[in-house]
Structure 1
Amino acid sequence: MFRIEDQTEINTLFNGFLDMMFLMKVVDEGKRFQYAAANDSALKFAGIKRDVIGKFMEEVLDRKLAEELQEVYEQAVFSEESIQFETETFHKGILQTAVTCLTPIHNQQGECTHLLASVKDVTESKSIAEKLERSEEQYRILYAEQKNAESLLIGQKLILEMIAKGCSLKDVFKAISLNFEAAMPQSEVCIHLANERDKRLEYFYSANLSESFIQDIHQIEISSAEESCGRAAFTYKSVILMDIGKELKNDKKKRMALQHGVRACWSNPILSSSNQLLGILAVYFKAPSSPDEKEWGTMEAFSHLAGLAIEQKQKEEALRKSEAKFRAMTENVTDLIVTLDTSGKVKYTSPSYKLIFGAEANLGNSFLTYTHPEDIPAVSDKFRDLLNDKKPLEVQFRYLHADGHYVTIEARAMPVLKESGDIENIVVVARDITERNKHKELIKRMAYQDQLTGLPNRRSFTEEFEGHLRNAENKSQQLGVLFLDLDRFKFINDSLGHSFGDLVLKEVSLRLKLFTRGFGRVYRMSGDEFTIILEDINEEKLKRKMTNLLEIFSEPIFIKDEMIHITASIGVSIFPLDGHDPKALLKNADLAMYRAKEDGKNTYQYYKSALDSNSYERLLMENELHGAIENDELLLHYQPRFSIDRTSIIALEALIRWKHPRWGMISPGEFIPLAEETGLITKIGAWVIRTACRQTKEWMDNGYPPVRIAINLSARQFLQRDLVASIQSVLKETGLPPEFVELEITESTLMKYEETILFSIEQLKKMGVHFALDDFGTGYSSMGYLKKFHIDTLKIDQSFIRGIGTETDDSAIATAIITLAHSLKMNVVAEGVETEEQYNYLKEKNCNEIQGFYTCRPMEAEKIELLIINHMTKVKAIKPITV
């Protein structure tokens, strides 16, 4: 069926109407009105374009008309009935009169959402009526002045009756010719119709002109160069040639006229009520002749009658085309169109009835005959409402198909009113939505159900949680919210494959579903995360349920001859003790789950407010962090990386600091995790990249030996879609060559997001940017990772460097990493070097670079410049090495 939101269908329906149709959206509680749709007639005759759709009435109409309509439109919003009124406007300098019928359209809540404006241009009909009145007045004057004109008046009245009855143009023009020639016996009348497209007059009718003369005047150019009919058509004014032999300048046309015995020609334009050229009334004489006042009046009167006849036929043709368009639309649209009488009997159905229901309609039956018995009461109520309210309404119901099954129908019923306001009949536009409903159900299942496990998903959890909370609140019950994360599930995926991992998730989902049967609901949030809502719980019941839940994971899972033991860490929050809204309860359960992870996994933890005791301080710091960049509170320190012989500065690592105006210098360990959590890290990270690159290029421009700048990137930054483009933009802006940039990424980030960030790394390396793997040795990555990502530099985590000389294992790990890096032709850097013993060991093992307090602490840019200058006096700094 046709919906207000579907402009295409509205236009399809509207465009069948000859009248102008506008659909106006009600905005600002009925104070403003926005164009939602307009039919072809509106665009053609109202002088507006398609781009008005979406604009407000006051933006389209002139101020006076908009103010006039505003009052009526506001009245219509709060009216139950249609409002009809008349307006007068000027269009292209012509006064136009229109009658508007304004119908309010309400939604299911009874609110007026749209106004349907049907605008009928009555300018021509009003003008014709006025001209008829003037004609009759002219005839009365003629009759009073000269009684022998009675026969002429009778003839003219006969012509008016012929026009009113819809006689053919040829018959009407014949009557005009005979009456005119009877009034002026020496005249011969000819009527030409205007072809505006070709700028020509085309012969249409003459009662007495010879065939040869008609052939010569069959086509006449509309032009100022013409001297008779063509000139009259061009100027819209009469042209009188009293003596063709003396007055006509065109010798060829003069000879032609005289050859046919024509000595005089009177040409009078036939104009429409809107002053458009319709044709020419031409009167020919065998002798020179000029019209007197009476004859002039006769010619004007018959020209007027000819104009009325032509306009009437044009309207009939337009109506015929409109009816043909409606019939074509009705007969060919797939939507079903039905006409009912006020008792509900079917008077007409479009051919699509058989396509939808498999049989021809039985006209005369009630539309309830084949309606599903369960739907009859609701449909009957709707029908009674339509009869009482006389307003369109919508309904869905099931209707019997010829083969015995029921089809779901969506219908819009619209009353057709008589002038008295009573309902004449009801038009119903309907369509089969059986398949659409099936697809809707399928889409709903896909949108709200996890495709792997069949469990409701995160969206379902979000929308259902409110209902669970309201139910618990109304019954004064407690509600348990469980956040569950499988332990070491990534190991299963990596070692046995994702398809195997999917089978594990299916088995876990089945066990959780059985666990919650009868008193709760389980959802798969993402990956290996689940939430469970437990209803009507107390402390004892919840404790018992949590014990049962852990027992579920004590049983091994058997898949493809593999026996898998899997555990879970579970966080628990309770409504109303730990929060009153879904967001707070879920967050608190999540916090408790992380505490369970920290406590060794395979356990559960209740949320305790102590977990969130620093919430106020964190909120305060978050607010301050938002303004840190704008307030110029962030700064960079730089820590050099030296060659193992300490003769060359290989790189400078950019390290962010926050100098707060009240709190002083804040450690990155305090605000970087918060920035990661809130998403501010992307904004801060972008500032670090731009500032570090600008500073490095400035040192190069000032003549300092070029060194590579090392910049740490967070996981969030790597997950940005525009990371590569933004770095490319910074390099172009600062002019720093990409080979002097080294991006540091942690081993844990590389492992967690390997597929996501691989593309970004490849693109940046193609540009010439270097990559270092930070904290190497803590994330258990394999050699495959190092080869796959083409890492340039490994940075040994300082936890292993710290144990050199005291912890045998740490020394061995450091040695192994150095050997591994060299075997893969990678540069290797030792972080956190603080003692001479550590330095000597690393030098002995051929570590390439060192970084730490043993050589230099992080310093401001100004102090780094002094360091470089002092170092240059001893050993010339060289370009970064490439291994």
Structure 2
Amino acid sequence: MRFERGADLLVWSLLVLNGVVVSLLSEVLRRALRRGDVDRNLLTSVVGGTSDAIYVKDLDGRYLLANGAAAGYLGRSQAEVLGRDDLAMLPVETALAITKLDGDIIASGRTQTQEEFLVNEAGERILFQSTKGPVYDASGAVVGLFGVSRDITKSKLAEERIQYLAHYDVLTGLPNRVQLDERIQHAIAQAAEGGQKLALLFLDLDHFKDINDSLGHSVGDALLMALARRLRAIMRADDMVARLGGDEFVFLLQGVDVAGLAQTAQRILDVVEETFSIEQHELTVSGSIGIALYPDDSGDLEGLVKCADAAMYRAKQNGRNRYCFFTAEIEALAVRRMQVVSALRHALEQHQLTIHYQPQFSARDGRIIGAEALLRWHHPSLGQVSPEEFIPAAEDSGLIVPIGEWVLRHAVRQMRAWLDEGMTPFVLAVNLSTVQFRHPNLPAMVAAILAEEQLPAQYLELELTESGAMHDPPAAIAVMDQLHEHGVRMAIDDFGIAYSSLSYLKKFKVYKLKIDQSFVRDISADPEDRAIVTAIIAMARGLGLRTIAEGVETQAQLDFLREHGCDEIQGYYYSKPLTAEQFGRFVQEVEPCAA
């Protein structure tokens, strides 16, 4: 900065800092530098209105000019600042750092912009962005230093916060997908150079949504934070655990072997399964892990995550709470699953779904007293897709809700048509998935369909699996109560394969237990199956509930069930699932015989 006078005109020197133009009257500064005083009124009008600190020092570091903002940061009045140096007003360490920086700038002969900290006498730590440069007199000699400093503490913290949010998960503090991507690119480069393997482990908690639904998101979030601390604690220094979102975690392990990976995966599962104490709740969860290797399975993050995710899904299919390595077979299954999900999205509109009906019979006299509606799907290129394959895909993709509503509406409509044709009334059973059952609109939707199709509720029975009911018993009770108010019957499907509390079973508004076919299959030869079936029938009778056995295929099975008091029979012994037209003919053939 140079000061001159020409043709009796004042020459303005402009200093730009972060878009702020600070104008200093050269004549005022020249006088200040020569005489050490300042025309205060003129100074106030020029620099007093800005929030940036504006100041001028002589070569000894004494302030010749300081606006109100500069004096405020120093904890002094403007009058107290003039003629004093930083050592007289700031902690020694801070003052020495500023003095050194000022000296370096003067020695360089250049104006520079840098960040610097100021700790005032109150102990406040302030970060400034300062533009400083030497001041020259008319002869070109350096006579001091000017400076303009802006407090960027808040903006810097905001910048750091933004940077943190870009690389870390807010809830758990673990690295996020962005940082994982950066880290794995570096790790892949190192592994490729050294001929080493990398492993990516994909962890997904089993049934975590049930915790959020039953206990609230605050409990779920607290569990995730506690789990993150556990996972971080068991990782080696060179390894990484990141949260992708929800209940999904990814581990990046370097320099690994297959045997060591298996041990690590099991260690992670063990840590996940340890009990959590959250807000007076003792919670136990499990997880499923998929494992993918670099370079064996893929050469980039997206590919590794895709492979590990497919392996994780396979682990869930195999029973959950286990790990699974990615294989070519899993890749084929993953491709098939994507094909199924994609095709399923168009199955309704393209009329590929049909409903078959399997008759249910009275064990006492062989009359048809009910039927179960069973969904079937035939795709033009995929062929006949089994429910065991497409129902889980529908649940995972969220398609189960519209598909379930379609099944219920068409089954109810068919039942109404049979009654209008004069068919002897019976009860039609329709299955509910756990996802459907948890949908808040279920009771209202069921009531609306019954009203629209004009079917009395007494002819509809909804089946829910035992495990579905026990995911969240209090919530299940509430939904069953609402359905009961609409006159709809509930039955527990696949009874015996999950753990049910008798105290809850008494509270469930159900009127029938369906004995799972796995107990019926070997009932003639397996003493344990016979004991289980006998106990279920006796318990149901004691609770005032009916029983129905599914999967009955032989005379011996039928005889045992009749002998021990099972009320209803369903299975290939009597009939396979039939189309609506076939079912109508079957009823006409059977009813005269039963009569």
Smaller-chain TM-score bracket: 0.5 to 0.7
Amino acid at match of 1:473: I
- Provide the residue aligned with 2:503 in structure 1: 784
1:338 aligns with 2:63: no
Which of residues 718, 740, 763 in structure 1 aligns to 2:482?
A: 763
- Provide the residue aligned with 1:624 in structure 2: 343
Looking at structure 2, the residues matched to 608 and 519 of structure 1 have their Cα atoms a distance apart, in angstroms, of: 26
TM score, norm. by length of structure 2: 0.65
Looking at structure 2, the residues matched to 602 and 466 of structure 1 have their Cα atoms a distance apart, in angstroms, of: 27
Q: 1:375 to 1:814 in 2, by over 3 A?
A: farther
Amino acid at match of 2:550: E
Q: Is the 8 A contact 1:338 1:346 kept in 2?
A: no
Looking at structure 1, the residues matched to 149 and 222 of structure 2 have their Cα atoms a distance apart, in angstroms, of: 53
Looking at structure 2, the residues matched to 427 and 557 of structure 1 have their Cα atoms a distance apart, in angstroms, of: 58
Which of residues 332, 340, 363 in structure 2 aligns to 1:613?
A: 332
Which of residues 619, 643, 656 in structure 1 aligns to 2:375?
A: 656
How far has the Cα of 1:748 moved from its partner? 2.5
How far has the Cα of 1:833 moved from its partner? 1.6
Which moved further from structure 2: 840-849 or 611-620?
611-620
Q: 1:407 to 1:430 in 2, by over 3 A?
A: closer
What is the aligned-residue identity percentage? 33
Q: Secondary structure at the match of 1:645?
A: coil
Looking at structure 1, the residues matched to 555 and 542 of structure 2 have their Cα atoms a distance apart, in angstroms, of: 26
Q: Is the 8 A contact 1:346 1:363 kept in 2?
A: no
How far has the Cα of 1:520 moved from its partner? 0.5
- Provide the residue aligned with 1:295 in structure 2: none
Looking at structure 2, the residues matched to 650 and 598 of structure 1 have their Cα atoms a distance apart, in angstroms, of: 35
1:473 aligns with 2:179: no
Q: Is the 8 A contact 1:507 1:557 kept in 2?
A: no
Amino acid at match of 1:850: I
Q: 1:441 to 1:502 in 2, by over 3 A?
A: closer
How far has the Cα of 1:340 moved from its partner? 6.7
Amino acid at match of 1:764: L
- Provide the residue aligned with 2:532 in structure 1: 813
- Provide the residue aligned with 1:80 in structure 2: none
Larger Rg: 1
Which moved further from structure 2: 651-660 or 694-703?
694-703
Looking at structure 2, the residues matched to 446 and 622 of structure 1 have their Cα atoms a distance apart, in angstroms, of: 32
Q: Equivalent residues in 2 for 1:251-290 (5 A)?
A: none
TM score, norm. by length of structure 1: 0.46
Deviation digits for residues 497-531 of structure 1, max 9, x if unmatched?
xxxx9999999877754542321123577999754
Q: 1:695 to 1:359 in 2, by over 3 A?
A: farther
Q: 1:363 to 1:749 in 2, by over 3 A?
A: farther
How far has the Cα of 1:583 moved from its partner? 4.8
Deviation digits for residues 805-858 of structure 1, max 9, x if unmatched?
222222221111111111111121111122222222222222121111222322
Q: 1:341 to 1:538 in 2, by over 3 A?
A: closer
Q: 1:861 to 1:439 in 2, by over 3 A?
A: same
Q: 1:359 to 1:776 in 2, by over 3 A?
A: farther
Q: Secondary structure at the match of 1:745?
A: strand
Q: Equivalent residues in 2 for 1:335-374 (5 A)?
A: 338=51, 347=67
Gaps of 5+ in 1: 1-107, 111-335, 382-386, 412-425, 490-500, 561-565, 877-883
- Provide the residue aligned with 1:448 in structure 2: 169
Looking at structure 2, the residues matched to 376 and 749 of structure 1 have their Cα atoms a distance apart, in angstroms, of: 72
Q: Is the 8 A contact 1:338 1:428 kept in 2?
A: no
Q: Secondary structure at the match of 1:651?
A: strand
Q: 1:633 to 1:513 in 2, by over 3 A?
A: closer
Q: Equivalent residues in 2 for 1:60-459 (5 A)?
A: 338=51, 347=67, 400-401=119-120, 403-407=122-126, 433=154, 448=169, 456=174
1:741 aligns with 2:460: yes
Amino acid at match of 2:453: T
Deviation digits for residues 274-299 of structure 1, max 9, x if unmatched?
xxxxxxxxxxxxxxxxxxxxxxxxxx
Looking at structure 2, the residues matched to 558 and 779 of structure 1 have their Cα atoms a distance apart, in angstroms, of: 21
Q: 1:714 to 1:338 in 2, by over 3 A?
A: same
Amino acid at match of 1:466: D
Which has the bigger relative contact order, CA under 8 A and spacing at least 6?
2
Q: 1:770 to 1:526 in 2, by over 3 A?
A: farther
Looking at structure 2, the residues matched to 614 and 404 of structure 1 have their Cα atoms a distance apart, in angstroms, of: 63
Q: Is the 8 A contact 1:793 1:828 kept in 2?
A: yes
Which moved further from structure 2: 690-699 or 658-667?
658-667
Q: Secondary structure at the match of 2:51?
A: strand
Looking at structure 2, the residues matched to 663 and 502 of structure 1 have their Cα atoms a distance apart, in angstroms, of: 41
- Provide the residue aligned with 2:356 in structure 1: 637
Amino acid at match of 2:179: E
Looking at structure 1, the residues matched to 389 and 275 of structure 2 have their Cα atoms a distance apart, in angstroms, of: 45
Amino acid at match of 1:338: S
Amino acid at match of 1:475: Q
Amino acid at match of 1:470: Q
Which of residues 163, 178, 200 in structure 2 aligns to 1:463?
A: 178
How far has the Cα of 1:448 moved from its partner? 2.3
- Provide the residue aligned with 1:9 in structure 2: none
Looking at structure 1, the residues matched to 66 and 403 of structure 2 have their Cα atoms a distance apart, in angstroms, of: 71
- Provide the residue aligned with 2:141 in structure 1: none
